[in-house]
Amino acid sequence: MISEPIPEPGEGEIVCRTIYLSLDPYMRGRMNEGKSYAAPVAIGETMCGGTVSQVVKSCHPEFARDDFILTYGGWQEYAVTDGKGARKLDPAQAPLSTALGVLGMPGMTAYMGLLEIGLPQRGETVVVAAASGAVGGNVGQIAGLKGCRVVGIAGSREKCEFAINEMGFDACVNHKDADFRDRLKSVCPDGIDVYFENVGGMVFESIIPLLNFQSRIPVCGLIAHYNDTGLATGPNLLPKLMRVVLTQRVTIRGFIVSDFAHKQGDFLRDMSQWIGAGKISYREDIVAGLDNAVDAFQGLLEGSNLGKLLIQVSADPTR
Amino acid sequence: MISEPIPEPGEGEIVCRTIYLSLDPYMRGRMNEGKSYAAPVAIGETMCGGTVSQVVKSCHPEFARDDFILTYGGWQEYAVTDGKGARKLDPAQAPLSTALGVLGMPGMTAYMGLLEIGLPQRGETVVVAAASGAVGGNVGQIAGLKGCRVVGIAGSREKCEFAINEMGFDACVNHKDADFRDRLKSVCPDGIDVYFENVGGMVFESIIPLLNFQSRIPVCGLIAHYNDTGLATGPNLLPKLMRVVLTQRVTIRGFIVSDFAHKQGDFLRDMSQWIGAGKISYREDIVAGLDNAVDAFQGLLEGSNLGKLLIQVSADPTR
């Protein structure tokens, strides 16, 4: 870590202190050159990241000292911003940290991908991987609210139990079990109507034979491949996928949450209401100290956390 | 071939003489066991197929002797049918054979896949393989009418020249050329917005790196794979495709023409008008004699014909 003096705000700027830094899989893409859904962060720049921050100095008409805001403060203790894209948070409405999780980007990713692309119908089977993660847990719970059979895939027995017991999944299978494919098939006796894709790799390959007629696959992540450096070894499963796409009339569609920015109001309204009514629960995994962000991020990519991963960069005065 | 007496119609049935038999790539799937978009034809049954036929005997209130009809007479000289799914044809409106081509299933496949899934916008680049075939030629021409840049892919110089000179494609590249990938890239300087997928294989693999942001891929066929018997050898290109789906927000959707049966009226209206106005041209490749159907069909799968392939089973009294 590099230490610099706390900056001063210029005209129209604010300086804010980071309380929570969000760690999310998409960040891996910013750490490489090459095409991804966002431009890479250059070496020497501050690594980007969503934060809940508190204003410490303001020369901006819309933000006052001590305001809590959702912003992109990045991996640092203090940030200067012109306030563009920042949103004020009311700690009386919801815990500040939820603005980075269930009421933030991961929650909205689940909501938009499932409802706008997955189009789940009552009685259908919805499968989501990384079921105990910040996105997957919400996908499963929202699908449950829509009357679907919800099947999770996760990487340990503990995570599977968490998905079933705390997130209300109907079933959850461990992709590290030797008989994973058989187990997946047995918990999807009517096939799969919606597969919410956020991992790729062997898990996706196991889904393909179970896809139903006119099934839908929203694709928001491929965490299994973020560290790939070349082409995967064979056999080539592309023709197999395309055959199923054709014979089963599957729709596959990639998206990121900002594609649906114009519907953020719907998301905040519905999700707040569901949380308030006890219909959606969430888990946070809060790691203290910016010094631990690199290790925590590596753990995230390796699947070692449960729920939404946050770094507590400084104290949250509201709890 | 097996000879049997000409059948007699029962109550509510007609007997019809086959004039034209349509040969289409989808038939390959009916010749195998295993899941495809239609049930396989059993050994010993008559191979299915769309036909233009003439009624020779009728015990059906809606069809009279000598009527011309579009039906599924199959690979035989005479067929008995209850008339379900049959449609009367008026030879004064369009040549009878066009009911199996430009005004039939292949034309409607092009129309629906392109317009309902491809959603081409003026100025976009639309790419279609099998550009000189019954579906591809129509995809290209309809895309041209919508103001798109139209690029074909075909398997010979002759076919490419046909696509450019007779179908009005802006460019067409030969996938058998050693520098095919470079040529494809050079004729798509702004990338690809719509790829109409009907072949699969190496051609599809070459498309992937050129896909634009929010591009669309209607999938109606995979002719390169219809004779596959196992998994393709590596490298595994599935992760590569999914990465592009994610970063470019691609939509891939499988369909068959009957998914859009409720819009057949739109198709017949538009296509008849375009043909009448000289905006859509078509080519037929008519092979005489049912005895030649097997060879002609093998040729179709190997890419040896140009335009819509038909078998002339008996004389067409209207020309």
Does A186 lie at the interface with B, CB-CB under 8 angstroms? no
Mean pLDDT over residues B219-248, rounded?
Answer: 85
pLDDT at B223: 75
Which neighbouring-strand residues pair with A79?
A16
Architecture of the A106-258 domain: 3-Layer(aba) Sandwich (3.40)
B-chain CB neighbours of A253 within 8 Å are 245, 249-252
The amino acid that residue B142 corresponds to is I
In angstroms, rounded to a whole number, what is the distance separating the alpha carbons of residues B172 and B156? 10
Q: How confident is the model at residue B39 (pLDDT cuts 50, 70, 90)?
A: low
Q: Is B245 on the interface with A (CB under 8 A)?
A: yes
**Does residue B38 sit at the A interface (CB-CB below 8 Å)?**
no
Residues in chain A with CB shorter than 8 Å from the CB of B246 are: 37, 219-222, 254, 256
Q: What is the mean pLDDT of chain B?
A: 92
pLDDT one digit per residue (tens) for chain A, 319 residues = 778 888 889 999 999 999 999 998 888 878 876 666 666 777 778 899 999 999 999 999 999 999 999 999 999 999 999 999 899 999 998 999 999 999 999 999 999 999 999 999 999 999 999 999 889 999 999 999 999 999 999 999 999 999 999 999 999 999 999 999 999 999 999 999 999 999 888 999 999 999 999 999 999 988 777 667 777 887 899 999 999 999 999 999 999 999 999 999 999 999 999 998 999 999 999 999 999 999 999 998 888 778 899 999 999 999 8
With an 8 Å Cβ cutoff, are A237 and B231 in contact?
yes
- Three-state SS for chain A is CCCCCCCCCCCCCEEEEEEEEECCCCHHHHCCCCCCCCCCCCCCCCCCCCEEEEEEEECCCCCCCCCEEEECCCCCCEEEECCCCCEEECCCCCCHHHHHCCCCHHHHHHHHHHHHHHCCCCCCEEEEECCCECCHHHHHHHHHHCCCEEEEEECCHHHHHHHHHCCCCCEEEECCCCCHHHHHHHHCCCCEEEEEECCCHHHHHHHHHHEEEEEEEEECCCHHHCCCCCCECCCECHHHHHHHHHHHCCEEEECCHHHHHHHHHHHHHHHHHHHHCCCCCCCEEEEECHHHHHHHHHHHHHCCCCEEEEEECCCCCCC
Output phi, psi for B100, to 5 deg.
-105, -5
Q: 3-state class of A296 per DSSP?
A: helix
* Side chain identity at residue B158, one-letter code: E
The pLDDT assigned to A40 comes to 75
> What is the rounded CA–CA span in Å between residue B293 and residue B287?
8
Domain B105-258 in the same topology as domain B14-101+283-312: no
Structure-block tokens of residue A214: 């006119």
DSSP state of A302: H
Helix axes B264-276, B105-112, angle to 10 degrees: 100
Least confident interval from A94-98, B2-6, B291-295: B2-6
Query: Which amino acid is it at A111?
Result: Y
Residue corresponding to tokens 């303001």? A58
Q: Which residues make Cβ contacts (< 8 Å) with residue A165, sequence separation at least 6?
A: none
Interface predicted TM-score (ipTM): 0.87
- pLDDT value at residue A20: 97
The reported pLDDT for the residue numbered B102 is 95
CATH 3.40.50.280 holds for B105-258: no
Q: Are B110 and B316 in contact (CB under 8 A)?
A: no
The CATH superfamily assigned to A14-101+282-312 is Medium-chain alcohol dehydrogenases, catalytic domain (3.90.180.10)
Pairs of CB atoms within 8 A across A/B: 142
Asked whether A123 and A147 are in contact (CB, 8 A), the reply is yes
What is the distance between the terminal CA atoms of chain B, rounded to a whole angstrom?
27
Q: How far apart are CA B137 and CA A86, in angstroms?
A: 51
DSSP helix, strand, coil percent of chain B (3-state; round to 5):
35, 25, 45
Per-residue confidence band for B4, with pLDDT thresholds at 50, 70 and 90: confident
pLDDT bracket for residue B166 (50, 70, 90): very high
| Residue B174: band (very low, low, confident or very high) from pLDDT cuts 50, 70, 90 | very high
> Residue A162's closest CA among A285, A1, A79, A52?
A285
Ramachandran class of A45: left when φ > 0, alpha when ψ lies in -120 to 50, beta otherwise: beta
Q: pTM higher than 0.95 for the full model?
A: no
CB atoms < 10 A from the CB of B102, how many?
29
Residue-level pLDDT at B34: 64
Q: Which of B204, B220, B233 lies closest to A234 in CB terms?
A: B233
Side chain identity, residue B171: A
Place B306 in a pLDDT band, splitting at 50, 70 and 90. Answer: confident
SS3 B128: strand
Higher-confidence residue of B302 and B16: namely B16
A205–chain B nearest CA distance, Å = 9
Reported confidence tier of residue B37, pLDDT bands at 50, 70, 90: low
A237 CB neighbours in chain B (<8 A) are 231-232, 236-238
Q: Which residues contact B268 (CB under 8 A, 6 or more apart)?
A: B103
In chain A, what residues touch B233 (CB-CB under 8 Å)? 234-236
Q: What is the structure's pLDDT at B42?
A: 79
What percent of chain B is modeled with pLDDT above 70? 97
Asked if the C-beta of A256 comes within 8 angstroms of chain B's C-beta atoms, the answer is: yes
A250 at B interface, C-beta within 8 A: yes
Domain boundaries, chain B: 14-101+283-312, 105-258
Which residue of chain A comes nearest to B36, CA vs CA?
A: A247
pLDDT in tens, B59-96: 999 999 999 999 999 999 999 999 998 999 999 989 99
Instruction: Please indicate whether, in this complex, the C-beta atoms of B228 and A239 are within 8 angstroms of each other.
Output: yes
CA B312 to chain centre: 18
What pLDDT does A44 receive? 77
User: CB of B36 within 8 Å of any CB in chain A?
Assistant: yes
| Residue that has been written with the tokens 């049997």 in this structure | B4
DSSP state of A115: I
**pLDDT at residue B227 above 80?**
no
**What CATH fold (topology level) applies to the domain B14-101+283-312?**
Quinone Oxidoreductase; Chain A, domain 1 (3.90.180)
Q: Which of A197, A224, A242 sits opposite B219 (nearest CB)?
A: A242
Would you call A251 an interface residue with chain B, using a CB distance cutoff of 8 Å? yes
